[in-house]
C-alpha cells in the first residue's frame, strides 16, 4: 500500500537515531521499521479491556501483522472500557469486531481474528508468531499460553537456552486502579509458572460457614448459589448469564439475610459474588497495555533496553510504580530444560502414558502426545483417537525415529489446588544404552 | 437510561453512584488533541464524563495518522479538533462533545475567561510560557488543571490546584478500627457476657476473635500492671496464651485471634497524618471555609472531648469466624457506637456552622456520617503553583534526588525536559525536530521530539486516572510531578 513516509515520522525518529540507552545489538536504520512491519508477527491473546488497547497500541507502534484470539462475545458491561465496541456490536465475537475496527482506522495493518478457545489451536499456530502479547483475566489461560510459548524453547547441551527458540511474551493484568505488566523471555527471565505464587488461588468460603454460620451478605448469596440452587433445581445447572437464574439466587439470598439479620444483599453484589466480577476501568487498562506494547516494540527493535522484568502499578493512594526483577525457578517444569525421563528402548507408548501418570512431578492424566509436530496419540476427538490408537503398542523409541534423546510434548490434565486443569509439558526423553547418552548432563534432570 | 447502569457496572463497583454522578456533571476541557490528549480524553469519554471541549487549532496532516487513533485517512486536511471530537463522540453518546478550532496558546492569551466554565482543564504538549499563564488563570477561577506531556520514551504528568480534600480515600490496606485495647462500655459488657470456656465445642470454636482478644488483653493487663504486650518476647507469650486456650487444632477463630493479636497493641490516639489535618490552619474556620474544613473543625473538637483522643469509630467489622448471632450482635454494637459518635460530631458541626454565620443545616447528615466513617483516612493534597516550581526550585530536594540511586534518572529526565521546554520557548522549536541540527541539540534525548503512541497512551492513561480521582473526590491523587521512564519503567514521583 502506498503511503507517504511521513506516516511513521515519530516511530522513525526512535528507530533511525543512535542513542545511549539502547540494546547492545541495536543498529538504527530504516530496516528496523521494515522488519517490524514485514517480518514481525504478533499474537494478541484476549480482545477484552487489555486486548482492545493492545491492538491499537501495536498497530500504531509499527506492527502490521497481528492476530487476535478470543472466545468471548461482546456484552454491554464491556462498553465502559473496551473502546473498539459499540452498543450495536453486543453479541458479536470480540476478536472479529476488534480486528475490523483497528483495520478500518489504521491503514496498512492486517489483523486476523480467531474466535475460539486458546486450547483449540494447534501448537503450530502459536509457533508462527515472533512475540505474544497477553491481555487476559484468568490465571489458567495465562498458564496455558505460557506453557505453549515455553514449549518452543530449546536448550543446548550445556542447558543454555537457544536464542532463536525464545518466544518472548508481554503480559498485562488489571484490577480496578491496580495492574501489572511484565516481560517474559522464556529461558532468560522467569516464566509465568516460575512466579505462580504471585497469583494466589481465590479463597472460597467453607460450605459449613454458608450452611450454618453465615455472617456476611456474600455468605447468604453463596448459600443460595451453591447450596439452595441444587436443592431446589435437581439436575438443572445454574447459568450465571441467565438473568432469571441470577434473580432467583438474589431473592433467595435476601430471604436468608433477613432470616439471620444480615445487611447488605443487593442485586449488584449478587452478580459480583456469583460471577466473581473484577472491577475494571479504561484508564488502568490503557496504562498497562501501553507498557506492554512499548515493551513489545523494544523487544522487537532493540531500540531501548527492556523492562526487567515485572512492573506493578497502583493508583489508589497517590501513584506508585515499582519494578521488580524476579528470578527464574531453577527447576521450573515449564521453562526449564524439561523433566528428564530415562527409558528403555522397549517401552511402548501405552507404558509411557502410564509412567507419566504416576511420575510424582507430572501426574498427567489423559495425555495427548506429539513428537516434532507429529501426533503420536490423541485423546480426542474420537476419530483422531482411533487413528492414533495403533501407536499405543509400538515402542516409543521407534515412534521417535530411533534417536537416542529428544524432546516430546505432552498435553494433558493435571491437578492444581484440587482443580483439574489442562497443561502442556515438555519432556526430555533419553533412551538407555544408546550412544550419545554419556554426554548428557544427568545431574540437571529429574 | 437502563443501559447506562449496565454499561458502567464495572466502574460503579469502584466509585459507586456518587462517583459516577460527579463524573457526569464534570465539564472537561482538553488543550491539544495529539495522541496524548486524545488518549486521555478517550478514557474519560468511556467513563461517561458530562462534557468535553477540545481546543486545537491545527489541521490534520498525514504524519498525524501514525500515532493518533482518533483520526483516519478522511481526517487529513481537516480540523484536528473536529476530527478527534467526532471519533471520541462515537465512543459514548451520553457525553456532550464540543470543539474549538483555535490554538491553545492563542486562546490563553486572548480569552482567559474561557476556562472558568470548566471543572477541569487538561493541558497536553503545551509550551512553558502558556502553561504558566494557564496555571494562574485556572487557580484564580478555581478550575483544576492537569498537565501532561509525552516526549520520546519519557513524559510527565503534573496536577495543579490550590487544594484537594478527600473524605472517601478508599485506601488499599488500612488497619480496622476495633478498639480491642480500649473497649467502650457496651462492647465490654458484651464481651463479659460470653464465656470463653464454653463446654460446647461448637460455641467454643465460633466465638469471634474480637471477644477473645478483648478478654485476654484485659487478663494480660491485669497480671502485667496494666500494660499490654509490647516487646517481641511479650507478644510471643501472648500468642502462646491464645494457643493455650484452644481445645482443638482446627479452631479457626483462635487462629484468627493469633494472627490479629498485634491489633491489641495498636497505639491509642490518632495518626500523625490526621494530627496534621486537625492542626492545619484551615481548621480554624470562618464563613468562607469549605464544608470539609468545617467538619474537620468539628472533628478536632470531638477528639478533644467526647472522643477522648480518638476519632469517631468507623463502625465496620471485618468478617471473622463466629456464630451468626454473636457476629450480628457485635456488628450492631460497633454500628451503635459509630452512630453515637456521628451524632456528637453532627452537633458540633451544627454549632460551628451557626457560629460562622451559616445555616446550621447546611451540611447534610449523610455527608457528616460519611465524613465520620472515613475520619481516620482523610486526605488533603496541595500543589505548588507551577510558576513557583519553575522560578524557585528547591535545590536541597533536587540534590537529594540526584544522589539517590532510585531517583537520579527521573530527576535527570526532569531537568532535561525543563531544558527542552526552555529551548522550545527560546528557539520556537523542540530540539531534535530537524535531523540536520541534531548534533547541536541534546544528543541524549534522541527521541525528544517524538510522540510515540504507546508512550502517549501511557501518559494519557495516568492523566485520565488522576482526573477521575480529582472529579469523584475519591482515592488520593498523586502528589508532585510524575516522571515516566519508558526505558526501564523506573518511573518516579518528584516532590518539587
**Dist CA B388 CA A117 (whole Å):** 56
Please indicate whether, in this complex, the C-beta atoms of A4 and B62 are within 8 angstroms of each other.
yes
Q: Which domains, ranges and CATH numbers included, belong to chain B?
A: 1-162+383-494 (3.40.50.720), 185-265 (no CATH), 272-382 (no CATH)
pLDDT in tens, B442-473: 444 444 567 999 999 999 999 999 999 999 99
Beta-carbon contacts of B100 under 8 Å, excluding residues fewer than 6 positions away, are B53, B54, B55, B81, B107
> Max Cα separation, chain A?
76
| pLDDT at residue A333, rounded to an integer | 82
Cβ atoms B298, B352 nearer than 8 A: yes
- Grid cell, residue A378, equals 490423541
How many other CB atoms are there within 10 angstroms of residue B296's CB atom?
25
Does B192 score more than 90 pLDDT?
yes
A56: nearest CA in chain B?
Answer: B69
- Segment B237-263 shows an average pLDDT of 94
Cβ atoms A334, A146 nearer than 8 A: yes
| pLDDT at residue A266, rounded to an integer | 96
- Peptide bond before B226: cis, by omega within 30 degrees of 0? no
A194 is catalytic: no
**What pTM did the predictor assign?**
0.90
Identify all chain A residues contacting B68, using CB atoms and an 8 Å cutoff: 60
- Grid cell, residue B432, equals 531534535
The beta-carbon neighbor of A60 closest among B10, B453, B468 is: B453
**Dist CA B466 CA B144 (whole Å):** 11
A282: nearest CA in chain B?
Answer: B43
Rounded to 5°, the CA angle B390-B393-B396 comes to 160
Does B140 score more than 80 pLDDT?
yes
Identify all chain B residues contacting A61, using CB atoms and an 8 Å cutoff: 452-454
Phi, psi of A252 (to 5 degrees): -65, -40
**Dist CA B378 CA B370 (whole Å):** 11
Please indicate whether, in this complex, the C-beta atoms of A81 and B479 are within 8 angstroms of each other.
no
**Dist CA A230 CA A236 (whole Å):** 8
The beta-carbon neighbor of A61 closest among B453, B475, B487 is: B453
Instruction: Tell me the shortest Cα–Cα distance from A104 to chain B, in angstroms.
Output: 8
Please indicate whether, in this complex, the C-beta atoms of B447 and A14 are within 8 angstroms of each other.
yes
**Dist CA A33 CA A27 (whole Å):** 11
A/B interface, count of CB pairs below 8 Å: 233
Instruction: Tell me the shortest Cα–Cα distance from B4 to chain A, in angstroms.
Output: 9
pLDDT range class, residue B274, cuts 50, 70, 90: very high
The residues that bridge with A135 in the sheet, in sequence order, are A172
The beta-carbon neighbor of A291 closest among B73, B453, B489 is: B489
Burial class (CB in 10 A: 0-12, 13-18, 19+), B266: middle
Instruction: Tell me the shortest Cα–Cα distance from B288 to chain A, in angstroms.
Output: 28
**Dist CA A125 CA A69 (whole Å):** 11
**Dist CA B53 CA B213 (whole Å):** 57
Cβ atoms B292, B349 nearer than 8 A: no
| pLDDT at residue A253, rounded to an integer | 97
Instruction: Tell me the shortest Cα–Cα distance from A427 to chain B, in angstroms.
Output: 35
The beta-carbon neighbor of A13 closest among B43, B447, B460 is: B447
Please indicate whether, in this complex, the C-beta atoms of A318 and B438 are within 8 angstroms of each other.
no
Cβ atoms A59, A110 nearer than 8 A: no
Question: CATH 3.10.290.20 occupies which residues in chain A?
Answer: 339-431
Does B437 score more than 50 pLDDT?
no
| pLDDT at residue A443, rounded to an integer | 38
**Dist CA A385 CA A397 (whole Å):** 20
| pLDDT at residue A1, rounded to an integer | 41
- Grid cell, residue A45, equals 491473546
**Dist CA A298 CA B399 (whole Å):** 32
Residue keyed to cell 503512541? B453
| pLDDT at residue B438, rounded to an integer | 40
Residue keyed to cell 431446589? A232
Instruction: Tell me the shortest Cα–Cα distance from A259 to chain B, in angstroms.
Output: 11
Cα B158–chain centre separation:
14
Does B341 score more than 80 pLDDT?
yes
Q: Does the ipTM surpass 0.90?
A: yes
Q: Which residues of A375-390 are buried (b: 16+ CB within 10 A; e: fewer)?
A: ebbbbeeeeeeeebee
| pLDDT at residue A352, rounded to an integer | 92
Q: What is the mean pLDDT of each run of 10 residues along chain A (446 residues)?
A: 59 70 65 79 97 98 96 96 96 98 96 96 93 94 94 87 94 97 96 90 87 95 95 91 95 96 95 94 98 95 88 96 93 83 91 89 87 86 88 92 86 76 82 61 39
Rounded to 5°, the CA angle A262-A268-A274 comes to 80
CA neighbor of A222 nearest in space, from A253, A248, A243: A253
pLDDT range class, residue B273, cuts 50, 70, 90: very high
Instruction: Tell me the shortest Cα–Cα distance from A351 to chain B, in angstroms.
Output: 43
| pLDDT at residue B323, rounded to an integer | 95
pLDDT, greater one: A416 or B234: B234
Q: Looking at the domain covering A339-431, what would its CATH class be?
A: alpha beta
**Dist CA A210 CA A445 (whole Å):** 46
Does B6 score more than 80 pLDDT?
yes
Residue keyed to cell 493534597? B381
Please indicate whether, in this complex, the C-beta atoms of B444 and A104 are within 8 angstroms of each other.
no
The beta-carbon neighbor of B322 closest among A57, A215, A282 is: A215
Does B278 score more than 70 pLDDT?
yes
B47: nearest CA in chain A?
Answer: A80
B457: nearest CA in chain A?
Answer: A290
- Grid cell, residue B213, equals 482478644
Q: For residue B271, what is the DSSP state?
A: -
Instruction: Tell me the shortest Cα–Cα distance from A199 to chain B, in angstroms.
Output: 17
Identify all chain A residues contacting B207, using CB atoms and an 8 Å cutoff: none
Burial class (CB in 10 A: 0-12, 13-18, 19+), A308: middle
Question: CATH 1.10.10.520 occupies which residues in chain A?
Answer: 207-275
- Grid cell, residue B282, equals 484551615
Identify all chain B residues contacting A21, using CB atoms and an 8 Å cutoff: 487
Residue keyed to cell 463524573? B23
pLDDT, greater one: A384 or B440: A384
The beta-carbon neighbor of B7 closest among A17, A77, A304 is: A77
Please indicate whether, in this complex, the C-beta atoms of B444 and A20 are within 8 angstroms of each other.
yes
pLDDT, greater one: B413 or A222: A222
| pLDDT at residue A22, rounded to an integer | 59
Identify all chain A residues contacting B13, using CB atoms and an 8 Å cutoff: 268, 272, 277, 279
Please indicate whether, in this complex, the C-beta atoms of B478 and A318 are within 8 angstroms of each other.
yes
Exposure of B203 in the CB half-sphere (CA atoms within 13 A): 9
| pLDDT at residue A5, rounded to an integer | 53
Cβ atoms B413, B485 nearer than 8 A: yes
**Dist CA A179 CA A310 (whole Å):** 11
**Dist CA A293 CA A305 (whole Å):** 14
| pLDDT at residue A285, rounded to an integer | 98
Mutate to test the interface with A, among B4, B14, B15, B66 (most CBs of A within 10 A): B66
Q: Looking at the domain covering A207-275, what would its CATH class be?
A: mainly alpha
Tell me which H or E stretch contains B351: helix B324-355
**Dist CA A148 CA A139 (whole Å):** 14
| pLDDT at residue A441, rounded to an integer | 43
Burial class (CB in 10 A: 0-12, 13-18, 19+), B415: middle
| pLDDT at residue A288, rounded to an integer | 98
Please indicate whether, in this complex, the C-beta atoms of A282 and B12 are within 8 angstroms of each other.
no
Identify all chain B residues contacting A277, using CB atoms and an 8 Å cutoff: 9-10, 13
Cβ atoms A290, B457 nearer than 8 A: yes
CA neighbor of A43 nearest in space, from A82, A90, A99, A106: A99
Q: For residue B50, what is the DSSP state?
A: S
Phi, psi of A190 (to 5 degrees): -60, 140
Phi, psi of B103 (to 5 degrees): -70, 140
pLDDT range class, residue B427, cuts 50, 70, 90: low
- Segment B190-209 shows an average pLDDT of 93
Question: What's the mean per-residue pLDDT of chain B?
Answer: 92
The beta-carbon neighbor of B328 closest among A56, A261, A271 is: A261
Identify all chain A residues contacting B67, using CB atoms and an 8 Å cutoff: 10-11, 60
Q: Give percent above pLDDT 70 in chain B.
A: 95
Please indicate whether, in this complex, the C-beta atoms of A77 and B449 are within 8 angstroms of each other.
no
**Dist CA A199 CA B239 (whole Å):** 30
Look at residue B24 and give its three-state secondary structure: helix
Please indicate whether, in this complex, the C-beta atoms of B172 and A316 are within 8 angstroms of each other.
yes
Please indicate whether, in this complex, the C-beta atoms of B72 and A104 are within 8 angstroms of each other.
yes
Question: Of A52, A194, A208, A292, which is the active-site residue?
Answer: A208
**Dist CA B485 CA B493 (whole Å):** 11
- Grid cell, residue A122, equals 494447534
Identify all chain A residues contacting B475, using CB atoms and an 8 Å cutoff: 177, 315-317
Identify all chain B residues contacting A318, using CB atoms and an 8 Å cutoff: 476-479, 493
**Dist CA A260 CA A216 (whole Å):** 10
**Three-state DSSP string of chain A:** CCCCHHHHHHHHHHHHCCCCCCCCCCCCCHHHHHHHHHCCEEEEECCCHHHHHHHHHHHCCCCCEEEEECCCECCHHHCCCCCCCCHHHCCCEHHHHHHHHHHHHCCCCEEEEECCCHHHCCHHHHHCCCEEEEECCCHHHHHHHHHHHHHCCCECCCCCECHHHCCCEEEEEEECCEEEEEEECCCCCCCCCCCHHHCCCCCCCCHHHHHHCCCCHHHHHHHHHHHHHHHHCCCCCCCCCCHHHHHHHHHHHHHHHHHHCCCCCCHHHHHHHHCCCCCCCHHHHHHHHHHHHHHHHHHHHCCCCCCCCEEEEECCECCEEEEECCCCCCCCCCCCCCEEEEECCCCEHHHHHHHHHHCCCCCCEEEEEEECCEEEECCCCHHHHHHHHHHHHCEHHHHCCCCCEEEEEEEEEEEECCEEEEEEEEEEEEECCCCCHHHCCHHHCC
Burial class (CB in 10 A: 0-12, 13-18, 19+), B240: exposed
Identify all chain B residues contacting A308, using CB atoms and an 8 Å cutoff: 488
CA neighbor of B14 nearest in space, from A281, A313, A172: A281
**Dist CA A35 CA A54 (whole Å):** 20
B7: nearest CA in chain A?
Answer: A77
Q: What is the CATH number of domain A8-197+280-324?
A: 3.40.50.720
B74: nearest CA in chain A?
Answer: A105
pLDDT range class, residue B431, cuts 50, 70, 90: low
> In whole angstroms, how far apart are CA B14 and each of A173, A199, A203, B165, B269?
17, 21, 21, 19, 30
Does B59 score more than 90 pLDDT?
yes
Amino acid at each position: 500500500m502506498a503511503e507517504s513516509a511521513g506516516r511513521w515520522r515519530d516511530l522513525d525518529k526512535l528507530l533511525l537515531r543512535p542513542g545511549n540507552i539502547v540494546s547492545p545489538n541495536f543498529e538504527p536504520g530504516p530496516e528496523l521499521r521494515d522488519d517490524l512491519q514485514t517480518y514481525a508477527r504478533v499474537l494478541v491473546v484476549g480482545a477484552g479491556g487489555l486486548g482492545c488497547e493492545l491492538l491499537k497500541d501495536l498497530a500504531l507502534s509499527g506492527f502490521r501483522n497481528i492476530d487476535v484470539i478470543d472466545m468471548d462475545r461482546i456484552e454491554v458491561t464491556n462498553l465502559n472500557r473496551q473502546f473498539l465496541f459499540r452498543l450495536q456490536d453486543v453479541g458479536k465475537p470480540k476478536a472479529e469486531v476488534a480486528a475490523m475496527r483497528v483495520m478500518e482506522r489504521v491503514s496498512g495493518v492486517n489483523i486476523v481474528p480467531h474466535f475460539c478457545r486458546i486450547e483449540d489451536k494447534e501448537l503450530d499456530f502459536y509457533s508462527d508468531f515472533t512475540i505474544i502479547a497477553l491481555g487476559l483475566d484468568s490465571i489458567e489461560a495465562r498458564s496455558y499460553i505460557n506453557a505453549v510459548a515455553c514449549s518452543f524453547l530449546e536448550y543446548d547441551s550445556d542447558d543454555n537456552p537457544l536464542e532463536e527458540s525464545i518466544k518472548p511474551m508481554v503480559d498485562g493484568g488489571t484490577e480496578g486502579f491496580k495492574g501489572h505488566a511484565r516481560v517474559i523471555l522464556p529461558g532468560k527471565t522467569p516464566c509465568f509458572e516460575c512466579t505462580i505464587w504471585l497469583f494466589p488461588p481465590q479463597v472460597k468460603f467453607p460450605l459449613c460457614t454458608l450452611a450454618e454460620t453465615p455472617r456476611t451478605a456474600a455468605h447468604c448469596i453463596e448459600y443460595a448459589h451453591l447450596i439452595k440452587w441444587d436443592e431446589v433445581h435437581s439436575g438443572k445447572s445454574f447459568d450465571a448469564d441467565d438473568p432469571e437464574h441470577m434473580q432467583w439466587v438474589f431473592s433467595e439470598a435476601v430471604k436468608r439475610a433477613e432470616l439471620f439479620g444480615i445487611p447488605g444483599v443487593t442485586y449488584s453484589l449478587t452478580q459480583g459474588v456469583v460471577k466473581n466480577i473484577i472491577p475494571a476501568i479504561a484508564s488502568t487498562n490503557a496504562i498497562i497495555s501501553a507498557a506492554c506494547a512499548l515493551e513489545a516494540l523494544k523487544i522487537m527493535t532493540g531500540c531501548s533496553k527492556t523492562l526487567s522484568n515485572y512492573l506493578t502499578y497502583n493508583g489508589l493512594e497517590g501513584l506508585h510504580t515499582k519494578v521488580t526483577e524476579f528470578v527464574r525457578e531453577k527447576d521450573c517444569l515449564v521453562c526449564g530444560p524439561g523433566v528428564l525421563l530415562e527409558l528403555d528402548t522397549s517401552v511402548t507408548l501405552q507404558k509411557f502414558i502410564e509412567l507419566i501418570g504416576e511420575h510424582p512431578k507430572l501426574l498427567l492424566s489423559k495425555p495427548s502426545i506429539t513428537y516434532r509436530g507429529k501426533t503420536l496419540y490423541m485423546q480426542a476427538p474420537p476419530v483422531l483417537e482411533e487413528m492414533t490408537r495403533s501407536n499405543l503398542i509400538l515402542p516409543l523409541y521407534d515412534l521417535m525415529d530411533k534417536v537416542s534423546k529428544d524432546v516430546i510434548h505432552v498435553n494433558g490434565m493435571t491437578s492444581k489446588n484440587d482443580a483439574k486443569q489442562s497443561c502442556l509439558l515438555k519432556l526430555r526423553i533419553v533412551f538407555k544404552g544408546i550412544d550419545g547418552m554419556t554426554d548428557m548432563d544427568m545431574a540437571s534432570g529429574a | 437510561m437502563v443501559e447506562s447502569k449496565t454499561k458502567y457496572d464495572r466502574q460503579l463497583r469502584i466509585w459507586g453512584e456518587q462517583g459516577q454522578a460527579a463524573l457526569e456533571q464534570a465539564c472537561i476541557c482538553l488543550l491539544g488533541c495529539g495522541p496524548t490528549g486524545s488518549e486521555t480524553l478517550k478514557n474519560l469519554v468511556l467513563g461517561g464524563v458530562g462534557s468535553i471541549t477540545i481546543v486545537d487549532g491545527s489541521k490534520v496532516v498525514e504524519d498525524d495518522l501514525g500515532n493518533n487513533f482518533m483520526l483516519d485517512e478522511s481526517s487529513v486536511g481537516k480540523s484536528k479538533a473536529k476530527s478527534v471530537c467526532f471519533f471520541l463522540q462515537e465512543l459514548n453518546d451520553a457525553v456532550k462533545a464540543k470543539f474549538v478550532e483555535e490554538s491553545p496558546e492563542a486562546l490563553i492569551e486572548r480569552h482567559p475567561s474561557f476556562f472558568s466554565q470548566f471543572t477541569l482543564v487538561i493541558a497536553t504538549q503545551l509550551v512553558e510560557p502558556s502553561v504558566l499563564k494557564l496555571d494562574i488563570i485556572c487557580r484564580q477561577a478555581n478550575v483544576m488543571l492537569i498537565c501532561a506531556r509525552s516526549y520520546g520514551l519519557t513524559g510527565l504528568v503534573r496536577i495543579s490546584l490550590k487544594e484537594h480534600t478527600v473524605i472517601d480515600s478508599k485506601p488499599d490496606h488500612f488497619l480496622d478500627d476495633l478498639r480491642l485495647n480500649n473497649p467502650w462500655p457496651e462492647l465490654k459488657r458484651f464481651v463479659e457476657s460470653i464465656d470463653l470456656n464454653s463446654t460446647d465445642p461448637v460455641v467454643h470454636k465460633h466465638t469471634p476473635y474480637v471477644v477473645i482478644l478483648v478478654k485476654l488483653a484485659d487478663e494480660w493487663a491485669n497480671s502485667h500492671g496494666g500494660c499490654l504486650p509490647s516487646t517481641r518476647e511479650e507478644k510471643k507469650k501472648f500468642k502462646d496464651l491464645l494457643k493455650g486456650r484452644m481445645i482443638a487444632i482446627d479452631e479457626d477463630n483462635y487462629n484468627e485471634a493469633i494472627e490479629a493479636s498485634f491489633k491489641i497493641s495498636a497505639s491509642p490516639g490518632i495518626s500523625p497524618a490526621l494530627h496534621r489535618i486537625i492542626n492545619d490552619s484551615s481548621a480554624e474556620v470562618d464563613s468562607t471555609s469549605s464544608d470539609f474544613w468545617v467538619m474537620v473543625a468539628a472533628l478536632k473538637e470531638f477528639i478533644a472531648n467526647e472522643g477522648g483522643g480518638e476519632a469517631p469509630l468507623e463502625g465496620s467489622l471485618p468478617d471473622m469466624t463466629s456464630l451468626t448471632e454473636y457476629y450480628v450482635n457485635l456488628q450492631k454494637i460497633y454500628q451503635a457506637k459509630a452512630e453515637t459518635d456521628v451524632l456528637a460530631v453532627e452537633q458540633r458541626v451544627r454549632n460551628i456552622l451557626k457560629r460562622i454565620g451559616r445555616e446550621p443545616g447546611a451540611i447534610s447528615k449523610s455527608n457528616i456520617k460519611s465524613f465520620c466513617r472515613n475520619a481516620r483516612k482523610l486526605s488533603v493534597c496541595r500543589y505548588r503553583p507551577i510558576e513557583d516550581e519553575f522560578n524557585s526550585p528547591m535545590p536541597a530536594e533536587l540534590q537529594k534526588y540526584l544522589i539517590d540511586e532510585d531517583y537520579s534518572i527521573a530527576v535527570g529526565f526532569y531537568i532535561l525536559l525543563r531544558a527542552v521546554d526552555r529551548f522550545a520557548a527560546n528557539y520556537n522549536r523542540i530540539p531534535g525536530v530537524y535531523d540536520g541540527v541534531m548534533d547541536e541539540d541534546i544528543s541524549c534525548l534522541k527521541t525528544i521530539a517524538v510522540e510515540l503512541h504507546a508512550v502517549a497512551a501511557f501518559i494519557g492513561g495516568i492523566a485520565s486516572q488522576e482526573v477521575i480521582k480529582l472529579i469523584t473526590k475519591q482515592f488520593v491523587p498523586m502528589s508532585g510531578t510524575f516522571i515516566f521512564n519508558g526505558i526501564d519503567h523506573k518511573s518516579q514521583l518528584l516532590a518539587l
